[in-house]
Amino acid sequence: MSRQIVLDTETTGLSAESGDRIIELGCVELVNRKLTGRNLHIYFNPERDSHEDALRVHGISNEFLKDKPKFAAQADEILEYLQGAELIIHNAAFDVSFLNKELQLCGRNKLAKYVGNVIDTLAMAKEMFPGKRNSLDALCDRLEVDNSGRTLHGALLDAELLADVYINMTRGQEALLIADEGPKQTQGVRVAAVDLRSIALQVVRASNDEVAAHDDVLNQIDKSSGGKTIWRISSEPEKAVP
């Protein structure tokens, strides 16, 4: 059974090391790439106010969080839920740094001690769509995932959208995986590998006429460049230095 957890957090600011805290955790469970409905969604009292910029992003007021549980009180439930799963996170370094800090503050080991591994969908998207915007909203638009209900960032909604995005990004990948070796890992991203050793590839060689026509085209290009084509220069024997 393949169990994956798509995870997202909202925080009071951008730096866990500077004292910012998690205020919301949203998790969506996938088993064999299918949504199970067994989600986890918790708000936390961060014991500090959110920065104004963060408030504009998530819209979760300091007043709303005052009566919510502290992270330490929910740590056991969270770790039990995440135990052994493969995590799927967009810009994983950010969320993992905050989770590690929260776990440290309540005397627990780092997240890696409890989970299988982490897939960063941002790193995956950058490889799949180089040079393009790869925010969650941009990926939803590109992959035709309906995000019309997303006016503010919310951890559970974002996790649900990311689950859909991830399924779309990796659709058909399983058929390419080598059964005995499994998926390879590149910078935390699952990469499909294909074993070509058992496939007999047909070699079609050029005929003499095709080779002659090819050489004629190369000669014409070389003539147009004034004899400065790279393949001609690099193939000339080096002249002895007097």
Cα separation values, 193 from 2, 4, 55, 172, 174, Å: 18, 20, 43, 12, 10
Instruction: Please confirm, yes or no, whether 153 is among the known catalytic residues.
Output: yes
Rg over CA atoms, the chain: 26
Query: CA 171, CA 145: separation in Å to the nearest integer?
Result: 14
3-state secondary structure 53-110: HHHHHHCCCHHHHCCCCCHHHHHHHHHHHHCCCEEEECCHHHHHHHHHHHHHHCCCCC
Q: Which one is catalytic: 41, 58, 90, 153?
A: 153
CA angle, 162 then 30 then 106, to 5°:
80
- Which residue type, as a one-letter code, is found at position 69? P
Decide: 84 and 116 in contact? Cβ < 8 Å: yes
Residues designated catalytic: 153
